[in-house]
Structure 1
Amino acid sequence: MAGADRLGAPAGAGRLKALLPRRPGSILLCLLGLLALAAAVAPSWLTPYHPTQIDARSLLQPPSWKHWLGTDELGSDVLARILYGTRLEVAIAMGSVALAALVAVPAGLLAGYRGGRADYALTIVADAILSFPIVLFAVMVVASLGASLGTLIGVLGIVFVPRIFRLVRGQTQVLTEQGFVRSARSMGAGTGDILLRHILPNILGPIMVIVPQLMAVAILIEAGLSFIGLGVQPPQISWGSLMLVSKNYYVSAIWYPLSVGAVTTIASAALVFAGDMAGNAINPDRRTS
Structure 2
Amino acid sequence: MNPGRPATGGSTTTAVLGALAGAVLLVMVLVVAFPDWFAPYPPERTDLRAVLEGPSAAHPLGTDQLGRDVLSRLVDGARLSVLIAAAATAVGVLGGALIGLLSAAAGTRVDSLLMRAVDVLLAFPELLLALLVVAVLGSGAVNTALAIGIAAIPNYARLVRGQALVVLRSDYVEAARMLGVAPARYLVRHVLPNVSGPVVVLASIGTGTALITASGLSLFGLGPRPPQADWGAMVADGKDFLQLAWWVSVTPGAAIVLVVVVMTLVGRGLQMRVLR
Q: TM-score with structure 1 length normalisation? A: 0.86
**Is 1:266 equivalent to 2:251 in the alignment?**
no
**Is 1:134 equivalent to 2:120 in the alignment?**
no
State the SS of the aligned residue for 2:207.
Answer: helix
The corresponding residue for 1:4 is none
**Is 1:180 equivalent to 2:180 in the alignment?**
no
RCO higher in structure (CA 8 A, sep ≥6):
2
The corresponding residue for 1:65 is 57
CA contact (8 A) 1:104 1:162 kept: yes
State the SS of the aligned residue for 2:208.
Answer: helix
Give the distance between the partners of 1:28 and 1:154, measured in 2 at CA: 31
CA contact (8 A) 1:232 1:240 kept: no
Shift of 1:200: 1.0
Give the distance between the partners of 1:40 and 1:195, measured in 2 at CA: 35
Matched to 2:124, the amino acid is F
State the SS of the aligned residue for 1:26.
Answer: helix
Percent identity over the alignment is 34
**Is 1:32 equivalent to 2:24 in the alignment?**
yes
Unaligned runs of 5+ in 2: 1-13
Of residues 23, 46, 52, the one that matches 2:44 is: 52
Shift of 1:164: 0.6
State the SS of the aligned residue for 2:65.
Answer: coil
Give the distance between the partners of 1:200 and 1:228, measured in 2 at CA: 38
The corresponding residue for 2:4 is none
The corresponding residue for 1:170 is 162
**Is 1:231 equivalent to 2:236 in the alignment?**
no
Give the distance between the partners of 1:266 and 1:65, measured in 2 at CA: 24
**Is 1:246 equivalent to 2:223 in the alignment?**
no
Matched to 2:217, the amino acid is L
Matched to 2:103, the amino acid is A
Shift of 1:261: 1.0
| Count of residues in correspondence between the two structures | 264
Give the distance between the partners of 2:148 and 2:36, measured in 1 at CA: 29
The corresponding residue for 1:16 is none
Give the distance between the partners of 2:133 and 2:165, measured in 1 at CA: 33
**Is 1:156 equivalent to 2:148 in the alignment?**
yes
After superposition, the Cα gap between the structure-2 partners of 1:146 and 1:187, relative to the gap in structure 1 and judged at 3 Å, is closer
Listed one character per residue, the Cα deviations across residues 114-165 of structure 1 (whole Å, up to 9, x for unaligned) are 3222211211221121122222222233234432222211211111111111
Q: Between 241-250 and 27-36, report the one with greater CA deviation.
A: 27-36
State the SS of the aligned residue for 1:107.
Answer: helix
Question: Hey, which bits of structure 1, 4+ residues long, moved more than 4 A?
Answer: none
Give the distance between the partners of 2:168 and 2:135, measured in 1 at CA: 42
CA RMSD of aligned residues (A): 1.7
Give the distance between the partners of 2:34 and 2:107, measured in 1 at CA: 47
The corresponding residue for 1:111 is 103
Listed one character per residue, the Cα deviations across residues 39-84 of structure 1 (whole Å, up to 9, x for unaligned) are 2222111122111111223222211233221111222111110111
**Is 1:143 equivalent to 2:139 in the alignment?**
no
State the SS of the aligned residue for 1:183.
Answer: helix
Q: Between 135-144 and 112-121, report the one with greater CA deviation.
A: 135-144
